[in-house]
Amino acid sequence: MRQRFTARAVVVGDRAGTVVPDAAVDVEDGTLTWVGPAADAPDAGDAEVVAVPGVLLPGLVNAHSHAPMVLFRGQAEGLPLARWLREVIWPREARLTPEDVEVAMTAASVEMLRGGVTTSVEMYFSPERIAAAVGRTGARAVVATPLLPLPGMPPLAQQLAEAVTLATSVPGDGAVEYGIGPHAAYTLPLPVLRDAAAAAREHGLLLHLHVAETAGEGADLLATHGLSVPALLAAHDVLGGRVLAAHSVHVDDGDLELWREYDVAVAHCPASNAKLASGIAPVRALLDRGVRVGLGTDGPASNDGLDLLADVRLAAGLARLREGSATALTAAEAFWLATGGAADAIGRPDLGQVAVGRRADLVHVDTRDLAFEPVLDPVDLLTHLVWSGTSQLVRDTWIGGRQVVRDGVCTTVDAEALRADVAERAARLAGRAG
């Protein structure tokens, strides 16, 4: 199938913040084959022409999420992370069924697609049901099968063996990729982390874990082992290969050098870190050392949303506040963290930019809104997108050239039915059913 998209402009999603005005984008069999000014475009031939009045963006990439936690959105308001997990989240998760996970992930996927997020990195239970959910909605996911010592779950060695079997037995098609998700150094024995890392390196899998999210986490491990969390992971051969560390808030210069040395990528989650008062990650210092950084929402129970575009704005604002500089993170860099930067962070060079050879995951944002005026230069469209745009202005979303959101409505599943289903299941998990 051949398609020709035309738009007021294309925001490429690179670090430089390239904006192509009066643009055309050609797609063949789900892949981008030409991007540039419409006046210079090759003959469209028999391609289907899709003309949009606003801007085209690359599909946003959510680098860290527990999306099925829409079932717990807004619960335990005001609790710090440790109490939030132990007193509210983990007891409810103990009642989860695989069907709960699939329904919740389907609803969350719809929410992300309507906000322009086409790919998410998920760490949650029942990974195959997560894959089934995004299969229904048409989204993409990298699913890091969690390893966590909770009541009712198999022994950790069995969890790891099953995670490796799943990841190595399912052929990658670009839609769903499996990895390994050991929760954190404060919840798992270090030998388990080492074994998980070795398995990930052996099979080229993404290893995704939480690192240095709170001050208390690091202080406890430092008191026990005499090392910071990154240093502890390095000492136990956890680093190396495709490692994606979520948060990395409480890290010092030595830790940042370890991330650089081992090419560890970071999933930065500003909204979750702010809501739980965990801190502000040193994004500028990470980027200055060449560390790959992608933006994540975290779970919708700690954010409480899946609106990655809102987190772009927050990331830019918090970085500037932390550094005391209005240039600490530019609008272009902030948007890149949710697009090309995030794709790099998760090791997916086929995603994240409107560029030839990448997958045709495209998002149309309607710029016929006061939030996008004035536009005196094409780059103003990117600036407005970051500082005054909202995900509610996302009108259409395509994945691999297939339209999954049309005029703000998901085309693949019934969102209203999902909403009612999620509400009923959430009540049951909270012990309020019936």
SS (H, E, C) 296-350: CCCCCCCCCCCCHHHHHHHHHHHHHHHHCCCCCCCHHHHHHHCCHHHHHHCCCCC
Look up residue 35 and give its two tokens: 């991007």
Residue 102 structure tokens: 């699939």
Residue 339 forms part of a structural domain = yes
Residue 405 in any domain: the answer is no
The answer to whether position 419 is within a domain reads no
> Both 39 and 114 in a single domain?
no
Does residue 364 share a domain with residue 314?
no
Let me know whether 264 and 214 are in one domain. Answer: yes
pTM flag (> 0.95): yes
CATH code where residue 64 lies: 3.20.20.140
Q: Is the same domain home to 67 and 175? A: yes
Residue 205 falls inside a structural domain: yes
The answer on 130 and 234 residing in a single domain is yes
Residues 100 and 200 in one domain: yes
Q: Does one domain contain both 52 and 131?
A: no
Residues 282 and 301 in one domain: yes
| CB contact at 8 A, 306 and 300 | yes
Q: Structural domain tally of the chain? A: 2
Numbers of helices and strands, H then E, in the chain? 16, 17
Count CB neighbours of 384 within 10 A. Answer: 20
Query: Do 246 and 272 share a domain, yes or no?
Result: yes
The residue range of the domain holding 38 is: 2-58+358-400
CA distances from 28 to 316, 358, 362, 400, 403 (A): 35, 11, 13, 9, 14
Residues 283-308 as b or e (16 or more Cβ within 10 Å = b): bbbbbeeebbbbbbbbbbbbbbbbbb
- pLDDT digit string (tens) for the chain, length 434 residues: 899 999 999 999 999 999 999 999 999 999 999 999 999 999 999 999 999 999 999 999 999 999 999 999 988 888 888 888 889 888 899 899 999 999 999 999 999 999 999 999 999 999 999 999 999 999 999 999 999 998 889 999 999 999 999 999 988 789 999 999 999 999 999 999 999 999 999 999 999 999 999 999 989 899 999 999 999 999 999 999 999 999 999 999 999 999 999 999 999 999 999 998 999 999 999 999 999 999 999 999 989 999 999 999 999 999 999 999 999 999 999 999 999 999 999 999 999 999 999 999 999 999 999 999 999 999 999 999 999 999 999 999 999 999 999 999 999 999 999 999 999 999 999 888 65
Domain shared by 165 and 225, yes or no: yes
pLDDT of residue 433: 60
Which CATH number goes with the domain that contains 29?
2.30.40.10
Residues 14 and 124 in one domain: no
**Nearest partner of 115 among 365, 413, 387, judged by Cα:** 365
